[in-house]
Structure 1
Amino acid sequence: MRPLLFHIGPIPIRAYGLMIVIGFLCGLWLAIRRGKKENISKDFMMDLAFYLLLAALLGSKILHIIIFWHDYVAQLPELVRHPTELFTYLGSGLIFFGGLIAAVPIGILYIKKHGLPVWKIADIAAPSFPLAHGFGRLGCFLAGCCYGKPCDLPWAVTFNHPDSLAPMNVPLHPTQLYSAIFNFLVVVILLILTPYFKRYGQLFWTYVLLYSSGRFIIEFFRADPRGSLINGLLSTSQFIGLIIIFLAIGAQIWLARTGTVRN
């Protein structure tokens, strides 16, 4: 659609990066607001968000490198000739589940370091994750990445910008918008369900379960390279998502029996 929005002097402002920043700030605002109601300081939530962001970016990039290692090896000669391109190359190609897998242990360690209950903080932050992610998917739509399969539906989108990562002049499923709308819907669901859960951690794992299930379905409509397993039956994210779905169900059962009752 419009990968490059504008320039501030010589600095290009790209849609994907800008939407990630907007999503991060919106998610942080919501986490601070919810934390205040639970007597969690603003400074703690800001520091936690910073470390989670770093871990998520690193983890999502590492998983992308693991899946598409052959592409990275092929790019090495070009990067040697033009080393400044390394920052652009490393900034593209992120896989959400890699970020989630990396951010969870970092978050647990940081929360425990400050002597706070892990599942309580996880519940406070839970709606912030899909909120930030939803804006990130809007960035994907503007950049043309994470595009869908060809279709003839009334809401199909056609990318015609030369810098778009999607195939040009072909009606496609707007899978980026599917994902953005779904994430924003998850935010609403989590905010509504917040007062109904009796034990800490249940809200967080509800987010994990909802997101993984929705991602599994949306993946069927995507056509961008994502890696595949089981002879192409499942994408890498679908395979990981299935594992996380069963993990989330198990965590819900465990918390319902042994979790700390909310105050």
Structure 2
Amino acid sequence: MFPIICKIEPFSIYTYAIIVTAIAAVGMVVLLAVSHKDGFKRQQVAAVLFWVLALSILAMVPMFLPVTIHAYGLLLAIAVMTGTFLLVRDAGASNIKPEVIYDLVFWAMVGGIIGARAFYVLLNYPFFAANPNEILMIQKGGLAWQGGLIIGGLVTYLFIKGRKLFLPATLDLCAPYVALGESIGRIGCLLNGCCYGKAVAWGVYFPVHDARLHPTQIYLSAGYLIIFIILRRYQISSQIPGLVFASYLILASTLRFFIEFFRADHEILFIGLSIYQFVSLGILVFAFSFAYMMLIKYSQPEDD
């Protein structure tokens, strides 16, 4: 695969100026593309300006230090940027300000990455105990969806409660774009060569393993993309808050449970299942319980 996209050596201020100009030009093209029907909206302008500024600041780093761009880290960044942009676009209809979305994404991302990495490290403790310097090397891969969902979800819950937003509706708003981000991020897993499947004659050849394996990264990417499409359609018709989010948990945990049967990088824990599958089952139980509570709380009986 291609775990490293490129290596950037330190460059001059003139090169930096060209890069910033290119970033600004791309931002303007994006803004024009999303605004051609309804004109410029503050949320869209704010979203584009945010990412133009963020990327311009990041582009300063190679001026002083050589930078290695890893496929996994790059796709993770693209996933976050794409999800944030679309989330800001849709948040206006829910009267949620762009700056609230930026804060929400930031804290959810921090909590999600910490949780995902911590869960992965715990499940691979012997390796990381012998190589502690690898613990923070997330650009090389190694984020467990279940840990990210649990800790990221907890941080998101605390943030939403702290800002006094309507929890079920806010979770519904975010859920499809979490699935979309997962779909994009799994391409990074494919390029990185992690999250690989069992050997199969017709599979994708992975040089690092010198074998043809089930492309479970592609299975997951396609599965999450389908989940994204389903959730976006369900958002239109759903009348009960919280059910879109519950549907995401149900679909995503079911997907992860069955894909685990094709994975080769996880040890079996008990009765032929991995720890990831047991956690997915726990998430599934929580999701159905949450959906039931939403139905009980917000369903309105029809008038006789």
TM-score by length of 1: 0.88
Whether 2:120 is the aligned partner of 1:71: answer: no
Whether the aligned pair in 2 keeps the contact of 1:200 and 1:260 (CA below 8 Å) is no
Does the residue aligned with 1:93 lie in a helix, a strand or coil?
Answer: coil
Question: Deviation per CA, 1:18-57, whole angstroms, max 9, x where unpaired?
Answer: 0000001111112112211111111101110000000001
Equivalent runs, 1:1-263 vs 2, <5 Å: 1-9=1-9, 10-76=66-132, 79=133, 87-88=136-137, 92-153=141-202, 156-160=203-207, 164=208, 167-168=209-210, 170-224=211-265, 226-230=266-270, 233-259=272-298
In 1: Cα distance, 2:259 partner to 2:240 partner: 30
User: Could you say if the C-alpha distance between residues 197 and 89 of structure 1 is closer, same or farther in structure 2, counting changes exceeding 3 Å?
Assistant: closer
Query: Which moves more between the two structures, 190-199 or 176-185?
Result: 190-199
Q: Which runs of 4+ in 1 moved over 3 A?
A: 89-92
TM-score by length of 2: 0.76
In 1: Cα distance, 2:212 partner to 2:144 partner: 25
Letter in 1 for 2:118: I
Count of aligned pairs between the two proteins: 244
Q: Percent identity?
A: 32
Match of 1:82 in 2: none
- Residue 86 of structure 1: CA displacement? 5.8
- Residue 228 of structure 1: CA displacement? 3.3
Q: Structure with the greater relative contact order (CA < 8 A, sep ≥ 6): 1 or 2?
A: 1
User: Could you say if the C-alpha distance between residues 179 and 250 of structure 1 is closer, same or farther in structure 2, counting changes exceeding 3 Å?
Assistant: same
- Residue 150 of structure 1: CA displacement? 0.9
CA RMSD of aligned residues (A): 1.7
In 2: Cα distance, 1:87 partner to 1:254 partner: 38
Structure 1 unaligned residues grouped into runs of 5+: 80-84
Question: Deviation per CA, 1:149-187, whole angstroms, max 9, x where unpaired?
Answer: 11123xx20022xxx4xx12x111110000001111111
Structure whose alpha-carbon radius of gyration is higher: 2
Whether the aligned pair in 2 keeps the contact of 1:229 and 1:239 (CA below 8 Å) is no
Letter in 2 for 1:242: L
In 1: Cα distance, 2:293 partner to 2:248 partner: 16
- Residue 104 of structure 1: CA displacement? 1.2
Letter in 2 for 1:13: I
In 2: Cα distance, 1:87 partner to 1:212 partner: 26
